[in-house]
Amino acid sequence: MSQFNIEEEIEEIAGGEFEREPVPQSKLKGWKSFLGMYAGEHAAGTEFTIGPLFLTAGVSAFDLIVGLLIGNLLAVLSWRFLTARIAVENRLTLYYQMEKICGKKLVIGYNLANGILFCFLAGAMITVSATAVGIPFDMEMPKLTDTTPNGMTYIIIVLIVGAVISLVASKGYDMVSRAANWMAPLIVLAFLACGIVAIDQLGVKSLSDFWNIWGQGSEPFPGQLKYTFWHVVIWSWFANAAMHIGMSDLSVFRFAKKASSGWTTAAGMYVGHYMAWIAAALLYAVYLKSPEAQAFLSGGEAPPVAPGPLAYNAIGIFGIIAVVLAGWTTANPTIYRAGLAFQAIMPKTSTFWVTIIAGTIATIAGLFPAFAMKLLDFVALYGFILAPFGAIIVFEHFFYKQAGIIKNYAEIANIKFNMAVLYAWAISFGLFYFISIRFDVFLSFVTLPAWLLCGALFMFFSRLWNKAI
């Protein structure tokens, strides 16, 4: 079954058919339904930026190639043994599951945070597409250190790209999913072509030549954090923390016949988050040898990470098209999902208008290149904020009997605000964010401790405060 078919089923849920009840047996899908979906979703606009950013962090060949191999495996295992298992046993959306545990009012806060973070991510992808659209107009590309727009040409292109993407997203998930399904194979092919061309341009003739592209690593570029092996492993594990340990993909895997469908996420991790990241890093390695990049480095500046020119230099017009489409296929569903999150807060507002609101916020965010240029940091923060909410679902699902707490307490007790959830998240977030800032600890390093602490505190507070009715 195609990506469109399963996403069409997901749209039925959004439309209200199974929104507040388990998915019936007749609607369940086999593993093939998820394979193309994950391969397409994770070979997208973000990959054109993330790959080069690893090089700006001075990674070595071993850190990049082996670190990504292990980190992506840990992500697949998280989807398979946590997200997919809970999804097939409960068959509920993330939002309904959260509502049962947290209460309707507390879920509003979660939806607001989710929606805003989705908009910022979509804004980064609008920036990515703009770097390709701007090539024929000789647009000055944003630098790694840029936080604000660098010229009127950039502003106009971002506004136009953002408006088009927002209008398409506002047409509904049917249009969004069809567009993604058409474009995904082309984007995967473009990443592969870019990698092959870059290897040729770098003069690679053997495995040792390939390994020596990164060698023992280097000092990070000005203003960038040095990445070690563990930075690569942990960051790549938690790049999609909100989706797996954060349980967002409960909404997808509730359609799966078996939890073993969770293994299909490997298609996304190793096509998108492995092949595509390395291919994009190779493009940047080619650019770093250019006189322009050397001039930046000689002047003590970091060469820009502009996906459009990088792909154009490798595969010409096809590269421009691929970058535009890659940014498009990421931003479109992201804006749509942000709109749905806002609609949960403003239920009387139409899907069209909440999506336009989300698209407007995303476009404004896209004007500020910092979201794209600091994508490694933003993705780490995104996972750190949202993942602990997933711990609440995981700990309750697996340990509620042993802990002696009431499952789905907000639903059972008919309360709209479960204080055990709020305190568990606030304490775990506040403590580990303070540790990260105060002691300069890489944020992804404290995501797992925060997740574990949030789950444990939720169980403790639930036992302490949530009494039998």
pLDDT tens by residue, the chain, 469 residues: 334 344 444 444 344 446 667 777 777 888 887 887 787 778 777 888 899 999 999 999 999 999 999 999 999 999 999 999 999 999 988 888 998 999 989 988 888 988 899 899 999 999 999 999 999 998 999 988 888 998 899 999 999 999 988 887 777 655 555 666 677 788 889 999 999 999 999 999 999 999 999 999 888 988 788 999 999 999 999 999 999 999 988 878 888 899 999 999 999 899 989 999 999 999 999 999 999 889 988 888 888 888 899 999 889 999 888 888 888 777 877 887 788 788 778 878 887 888 899 999 999 999 999 999 888 899 999 999 999 999 999 999 999 999 999 999 999 999 999 999 999 999 999 999 999 999 999 999 999 999 999 999 999 999 999 876 5
Could you tell me where the DSSP H helices lie in 346-469?
Answer: 351-366, 370-373, 375-403, 409-413, 419-438, 447-465
Tell me the C-alpha distance between 173 and 163, whole Å. Answer: 17
Torsion of CA 188, 194, 197, 201, to 10 degrees: -160
- Report the pLDDT value the prediction gives residue 86, as an integer from 0 to 100: 96
Tell me the C-alpha distance between 155 and 177, whole Å. Answer: 28
Instruction: Find the radius of gyration of the CA atoms of the chain.
Output: 22
3-state secondary structure of 376: helix
CB 51 within 8 A of CB 279: yes
- Report the pLDDT value the prediction gives residue 210, as an integer from 0 to 100: 94
With vertex at residue 255, the alpha carbon angle to CA 347 and CA 386, rounded to the nearest 5 degrees, is 55
- Report the pLDDT value the prediction gives residue 9, as an integer from 0 to 100: 43
- Report the pLDDT value the prediction gives residue 186, as an integer from 0 to 100: 84
- Report the pLDDT value the prediction gives residue 287, as an integer from 0 to 100: 92
Q: Which two tokens stand for residue 462?
A: 């639930």
Q: How far apart are the first and last CA of the chain?
A: 46
Q: Which domains does the chain have, with CATH numbers?
A: 3-380 (1.10.4160.10)
- Report the pLDDT value the prediction gives residue 369, as an integer from 0 to 100: 93
Tell me the C-alpha distance between 425 and 240, whole Å. Answer: 19
- Give the list of residues 6+ apart from residue 99 with CB closer than 8 angstroms, or none: 107, 410, 411
Tell me the C-alpha distance between 87 and 95, whole Å. Answer: 12
- Report the pLDDT value the prediction gives residue 116, as an integer from 0 to 100: 93
Tell me the C-alpha distance between 385 and 447, whole Å. Answer: 9
Tell me the C-alpha distance between 240 and 339, whole Å. Answer: 20
